[in-house]
Structure 1
Amino acid sequence: MKPSVRVGLACSLAFVATQAAVAQSFPSDDPVIRAIWEEGVERSQVYALGQVMMDSIGPRLTGSSAMAGANDWAVARYAEWGIEAYKERYGTWRGWERGISHIDLVSPRVRSLEGMAAAWSPATDGPVEADVVVLADAGGPEAFEAWLPEVRGKFVLISRPESSCRPEDNLEWFARPETLARMTEERERAAREWREREENTGLDRRLLPEALDAAGAAGIIRSQWSEGWGVNKIFGTGAERAPVVDLSCEAYGLVYRLAENGQGPVLRVDARARFLGEVPVFNAIAEIPGTAEPEEYVILGGHYDSWDGSDGALDNGTGAVAIMEAMRILKRAVPNPRRTIIGALWNGEEQGLNGSRAFVEDHPEILARTHTVFNVDHGNGPVTFIPMQGFAGAAGRFGDWLGKIPSELADLVTLEIPGMPESGGTDHASFLCAGVPAFSFHVGAGRGDDSPMDINRWDTSIYTWHTNRDSFDKIIFEDLRDDAVMTALLVYLASEDPDRMPRDQRAMPGGSQWPDCRPPARSYGQSNR
C-alpha cells in the first residue's frame, strides 16, 4: 500500500514559516544556482517526505516488509517527479516482521515494563510467564558450564545494571562533588566487575545469547542504556528460539534488584514476530541522465535502512530525505546536467555497508568513470565539516564549488586538508576502497577544537543514534532543508566540472592497507559484521 503524503495543515504552515531565509549573497551569477536555491528554500518538500518516511513507513530494517515498502515508495515518488528510478537487487537477507511486544512484571508486584523485543528476535508462543535469574558470576568456563542447566525455563538477565539512570551531565550539574566522585567510582567498578563476569563464561559476549538459547532459557533480557533519559540502544539478536528483550535502564534495574535480593521476580512476556525466510534485498537507484558526458557520473548516496527500535529518523532517514529532495531539486533546476547524476538509497549499511559494497563490486564500469561521490549520513545538519579523505586535488575542487555557493551555507563549512581516508563507518568507505574520490558530509565542529563534532551534535550519540528515541520529532527541518539545498548545489557544480576529480591519494601511514575493505555479505549466512 502506498502511504499517504497528506500533512496536517497546521504542521505544514508551521514549517513554511521557518522558510523565510533568503540568500543575501550569491557570489556567482550562475542562474542555475539561484534556481536551485529558490526551489529548495521556497518549495521545500523535506517535511512531507520525512513525515511519510518516518511516521507512515516507519523503521526500515534490512529484510523487513517495511524496507521493501520503503523502496517501492521511493521509486514511485521519483517517477512522479519525472526521474527514472529502479530497485537493484544485490542479494538476500533474513526476512523478519515485528509484531507487538508486551513485557510485564507480575510478581512480587504488578507493573508493565518499558521495553521491546530486539530485531530478529524469535517470538514467544503466546504469553510466557517465568522466573528470572541473573547471569552467573562463575569462576571460569567450567563453572559457567555447570551453571547453564539452571537457566532452563527462566528469563536470564545478561546486562550490567546501572546504579543510577540519570545522565552523566545531570549528575555533573547537580550532585555534590563527593557524591559525583562516589557514583563515578561505583559505576566504573561495576563495569569492571561485569566485564570479568562475562569473561569468566569463556564466551565472546556476542555469543552469550546463543549459549543461553541452547540451554533452554525462556528468554534473554538485556539493557543497552545510552546514558540518556529513558533511552536504550536497540540492536539485533543471534538467538534462534528464545526471545531477546531490551528493557529500559529503569525497568531493567528494578528486575535485577528483585532477582539479586531473592525477591522472586516473575515476568510475563508476549513478543510476536514473523520470520519470512531469505528475502531479496535491493538498493533504490535514481538517475538524471547527463548530456555532454552521459557516461561520466556524480553519485549522491546514503543508507536507507535503519534499526527498528524507533523510526530511523536521524540514522539515516534525514540523509535519505536529503538525497530524494536534492534529486527533486536538480530535476527541476538542472534538467540537462553535463554528467549523469545517480541518487542512491543504499540498503544493508547497518549490517556492514552491504548495499554500497555490492554496488561497487557490481559496477566497475561506473566506478571507472565516476567524478566524485557524496555521502549523506550525519543526522541533523547543516553541513559544517568535509574531510578530503587524503585526495590531493580535492581541496581545490571543493574550494571552487564553495566559492560559488551562497555564503549562508558555504561559510559554515570547514575542509580537512588533505585528511586521511576514514576507516569505514558509512557508505562512502565502499567507494574509497575502490580508489574513487568519495566524501562524507559531517555536522558539528571540525577536528582539532573542543566542540562536539559529527555524531555528538544535538546529543545524537546519546539520544537518537541506534536508540528507541530516533523519531520524526527529533528532526530539525531548517537544517534538513539547508542540507538538501547544499547537497544539490555541490552535486550540480561537480556535474559541470570540465575535468574529473584526480585520484592521487595520500598514502596510509607506514604503507598500511585500507583497514576495512571486506566484500559485501550478500546473504544473512555470509554476514561479516
Structure 2
Amino acid sequence: MKKSLHFSKYSRVIVVGLFCVSSTFLCAQTKDKVVDQIIEEATEHSQLENYAFELIDVIGPRLVGTPQMKQAHDWVKNSYIGLGFEARNEAYGTWKAWDRGVTTIAMTSPRIQSLEGRQLAWSPATVKKGIEAEVVVLPEATTAAEFKELLKQVKGKFVLISKNTISGRPDHQWKEYATPESYEKYKKEQAEVDGAWAKRISNTGHSLKELPKVLESAGAVGVLMSYWTGIMGANRVFGAETTRIPTVDLSVEDYGLLYRLAEKGQKPRIHVQADSKDLGTTETYNTIAELKGSEKADEYVVLSAHLDSWDGATGATDNGTGIITIMEAARILKKVLPNPKRTILIGNWGSEEQGLNGSRAFVADHPELHDKIQVVLNQDSGTGRIVNLSGQGFLNSYAFLGDWLQAVPEAYKSDLKTTFLGSPSSSGSDHSSFVSVGIPAFMLGSLNWGYGGYTWHTNRDTYDKIVFDDIRSNAILIAILAYKASEADEMVSREKIELPLQKNGDRESWPEVKQPQRIAPK
C-alpha cells in the first residue's frame, strides 16, 4: 500500500459529525435495529484480538510466494467457512516460491560484534557455512567508464551501496535538544553527504536498482544496504535484485559502523549466513468469501483488503488490520443480517504490494460482475480510525455515501471527512483496480499513527502497533455502510465527473485499466 492518499484540489470537503457522547460503545441507540445490533455485537463479542493473533503472530509475514502466504489464504478461507460463508482460494497466476529462513550477521574484524539486519525478500541463500569477507564502500568514480574499471575491486567482497547517515537520531530530537547552530550544521553536513552519494551513484552509469546486479556480475559476494526511515529502529525491507548473492539490509547504526571502518582503512570483515530457500514457483491466489443475498443475490457489495505483506516484520498494519477489520465486519453482518438483500463478497487480495496484482486479476477474470457490483469498500491504511473518504470522481457519490453515513452514529464518524467529488485513484490500493473499470470503489483512509515512517513496509510492523479501539470502530462503520449498501432499493449511480483540464490544455482521463502481473519477474 502506498503511504499517502491524493485528493483533488477541485474537491470540496465536508466534515461529517463533530460530537461523540463517549469513547466507549455506550452510545445512544439509533432508530435502526440492525445498526444497534451491529454495534452491540462488535462491542460485546469482538473477535479482532483473536483474528490478529492467529494471522499476525501465528502465521506471521505474508510475502507472496512464501509458505506463510499460502497458510494465510487457507486460514482466511477456513475462517469464513467456519462463520457460515461460502469461501474459496481463487488462483490467478504464479510467483517465485521462497522461504526466508534464518539470517545471522556478525562483524569478525577488527573485533567481534553481532549485527542487526536481515536478507531482503527473495534474496539468494549463502553456502551452508555462510560467507566471510571484507566490506568495502561502493567504488567512487567520475565517469561510468572509470567505474567499470574500478569494479574489479569488489570481487570477493561485500559492498556497501547506501549513503552514510551522520546521525542515527531522529530529526525531532535534533530540533528539541541541539542548539540552533548545531542543528543547522548537522543538516548542512547531511545534505552534503546526500548530494555526494547521489553523485557517486550517478557516476556509475547505473541506477540504484541496477547496481546490485552489476556488483553481482563483477564478483561481489554480497550487497549491503540500509533503508532507514529516520525513526529509530525502523528500516524498510523490500525485495532483492540479486539472483546469486545475498542482499542484506542493516540497521542504521551497524551500517554506519561498517561504513566508517571501511572508509578509514580498517578493512572490516563480516560473516553472513542466510538460510533462505528457493522453492521454484507456486500459484498465487485471492481468497474470496460470500454471504449470499436473498432478493438480489446476483448483485454484490464488496469488502476489500489485501492479505499479502512485505516480510521485514509481520505485516500488522499493512495490511493485517485491513484483513481482520473486514473479517470482523463480515462476521457481524452474518450474525445480525444473515439474509442480506445483495450478496456480501469479501475480497482478500494477493500480491497488492507488487502492483495490485490480486485485485486487478479479479477484475480482469470476472467481467460478468462489473455491472453487478454495487460498491467496493477498501481498507488498507494502517491501524487508525477511518478519517478520509473520497468520492473518487463519481458524480453522485455524495448522495449515496451521504445517505448511508446518516445511519452511522456520531461516535463512529466524528473524525470522518468526506471529499466530494474527489478524483479517481489510479494506484495506491486495491480500490483503484475497480475504479478503473467504472465501479464505485472507495478507500477508507485511516488516521496516521506514524504509519508512513514507523510501520509502512518496515521491520517494526508488528502486532503491538495495532490500536484495537480504532479498528473496532472501523469494523462498525464498515458493517453499517455494507448493510445500507446491500439493502438499498436500487443500484447506485456510476456517472462520472468531467475531469479538469491539464496544463497542456488536454482534459484529464479516467484511470486506464491495468493488467495484473501473473508471473514473477526473473
The 8 Å contact of residues 403 and 410 in structure 1, kept in 2 or not, is answered as no
Is 1:413 aligned to 2:416, yes or no? yes
**SS of aligned partner of 1:228:** coil
Query: 2:79 & 2:511 partners in 1: Cα distance?
Result: 37
CA deviation after TM superposition for structure 1 residue 323, in Å: 1.2
Task: Summarize the alignment of residues 492-511 of structure 1 with structure 2, pairs less than 5 Å apart.
Answer: 492-510=483-501, 511=507
What does residue range 338-349 of structure 1 map to in structure 2 within 5 Å? 338-349=341-352
Letter in 2 for 1:98: R
1:140 counterpart = 2:140: no
Structure-2 residue corresponding to 1:102:
104
- The C-alpha deviation readout for 1:159-185, integer Å capped at 9, x for no partner, is 001000111111111111111111111
Any conservation in 2 of the 1:26–1:407 contact (CA below 8 Å)?
Answer: no
- What are the Cα deviations for residues 293-349 of structure 1, in whole angstroms up to 9, with x where unaligned? 111111111111000000000000000110111111111111011111101110000
How far did residue 380 of structure 1 move? 1.2
Alignment of 1:45-124 (within 5 A): 45-124=47-126
| Number of the residue aligned with 2:452 | 461
SS of the residue corresponding to residue 100 of structure 2 reads strand
Any unmatched runs of 5+ in structure 2?
1-21, 502-506
Deviation of 1:516 (Å): 6.0
Instruction: Decide whether the 8 Å contact of 1:94 with 1:279 is kept in 2.
Output: yes
Partner of 1:272: 275
**What is the rounded CA distance, in whole Å, between the counterparts of 1:226 and 1:335 in structure 2?**
45
Aligned to 2:516: 520
Determine the structure 1 residue equivalent to 2:14: none
Change over 3 Å in CA distance of 1:24–1:60 after alignment to 2 = same
Alpha-carbon distance in structure 2 between the residues aligned to 1:388 and 1:128: 54
Shift of 1:482: 1.1
Partner Cα separation in structure 2 for residue 410 and residue 198 of structure 1: 48
User: Is the 8 Å Cα contact of residues 23 and 411 (structure 2) preserved in structure 1?
Assistant: no
Displacement of 1:210 in angstroms is 0.8
Structure-to-structure mapping, 1:28-39, within 5 angstroms: 29-39=31-41
2:222 corresponds to which of 219, 223, 235: 219
Letter in 1 for 2:423: M
In structure 2, the residue corresponding to 1:169 is in which secondary structure? helix
Structure 1 residues 97-131: Cα deviation after superposition (integer angstroms, max 9, x where no partner): 01101010110011101101110000000221000
Deviates further, 220-229 or 458-467: 458-467
Rounded to whole Å, the distance in 2 between the matches of 1:250 and 1:458 is 25
2:58, 2:500 → 1: CA distance?
Answer: 47
Q: Output the amino acid matched with 1:31.
A: K
Give a deviation string over 1:400-442, Cα, whole Å, max 9, x none: 1111111101222110011111231110010111111100011
Query: Counterpart of 2:381?
Result: 378
Distance in 1 (CA, whole Å) between partners of 2:513 and 2:177 is 46
User: Does 2:193 match 1:190?
Assistant: yes
> For 1:442, what is the secondary structure of its paired residue?
strand
Gapped runs of 5+ residues in structure 1?
1-18, 445-456
Shift of 1:515: 5.0
Distance in 1 between residues matched to 2:511 and 2:266, nearest whole Å: 50
1:240 to 233, 240, 243: 243
Q: Distance in 2 between the 1:268 and 1:202 partners?
A: 30
Letter of the 2:96 counterpart: R
Contact 1:132 1:156 in 2 (8 A): yes
Alpha-carbon distance in structure 2 between the residues aligned to 1:492 and 1:268: 57
Query: Which amino acid in structure 2 is aligned with residue 44 of structure 1?
Result: S
The Cα RMSD (Å) is 1.3
- Which whole-Å CA distance do the structure 2 matches of 1:412 and 1:162 have between them? 38
Deviation per residue, 1:461-517 (Å, 9 max, x gap):
111110000000000111111111111111111111111121111233332334564
SS of corresponding position for 2:93: strand
Per the normalisation by structure 2, the TM-score is 0.93
Residue 314 of structure 2 is aligned with which of 296, 311, 316? 311
Residue of structure 2 equivalent to 1:452: none
Question: What CA distance in whole angstroms lies between the structure 2 residues aligned with 1:512 and 1:359?
Answer: 26
Instruction: Indicate if the aligned counterparts of 2:407 and 2:480 stay in contact, CA closer than 8 A.
Output: no
Flag the 1:115–1:81 CA change in 2: closer, same or farther, 3 A.
same
Q: Is the counterpart of residue 476 in structure 1 residue 467 in structure 2?
A: yes
**Aligned-pair distance for 1:278?**
1.5
**In structure 2, the residue corresponding to 1:187 is in which secondary structure?**
helix
Moved more, 298-307 or 406-415: 406-415
Q: Displacement, 1:25? A: 2.7
SS at match of 1:116: strand
Q: Structure 1's 135 and 179: CA in aligned 2 closer, same or farther, altered over 3 A?
A: same
**In structure 2, how many angstroms separate the alpha carbons of the residues matched to 1:504 and 1:344?**
24
Cα deviations by residue, 1:445-465 (Å, 9 ceiling, x for unpaired): xxxxxxxxxxxx211111111
Does the alignment pair 1:129 with 2:129? no
**Aligned CA distance change for structure 1 residues 516 and 349 (closer, same or farther; 3 Å):** farther
Match of 1:422 in 2: 425
- 1:208/1:516 Cα in 2 relative to 1: closer, same or farther (>3 Å)? farther
| Corresponding residue of 2:231 | 228
Report the Cα distance in structure 1 between the residues aligned to 2:197 and 2:499, rounded to whole angstroms.
37
Checking the alignment, whether the CA contact within 8 Å between 2:412 and 2:476 is kept in structure 1 is no
Tell me the distance in 1 between the aligned counterparts of 2:351 and 2:142. Answer: 39
Partner of 1:7 in structure 2?
none
Amino acid at match of 2:484: L
CA distance in 1, matches of 2:497, 2:206: 40
SS class of match (2:445): coil
Q: Deviations over 1:10-59 (max 9, x none)?
A: xxxxxxxxx982242344x2211111111111100000100111111000
In structure 2, the residue matched to 1:208 is 211
Match of 1:294, SS state, is: strand
Q: C-alpha separation between the residues in 1 aligned to 2:509 and 2:66?
A: 35
State the one-letter code of the partner of 2:468.
Answer: F
CA deviations 1:212-246 (Å, max 9, x no partner) are: 11111110000000100111010001100010000
Quote how far apart the aligned CAs of 1:136 are: 1.3
- 1:242 aligned counterpart, secondary structure: coil
In 1, the alpha carbon distance for the partners of 2:410 and 2:28 equals 6
Partner of 1:359: 362
CA distance in 2, matches of 1:66, 1:320: 15
For 1:432 and 1:385, the matched residues in 2 are separated by 17
Match of 1:441, SS? strand
Alignment-derived partner of residue 16 in structure 1: none
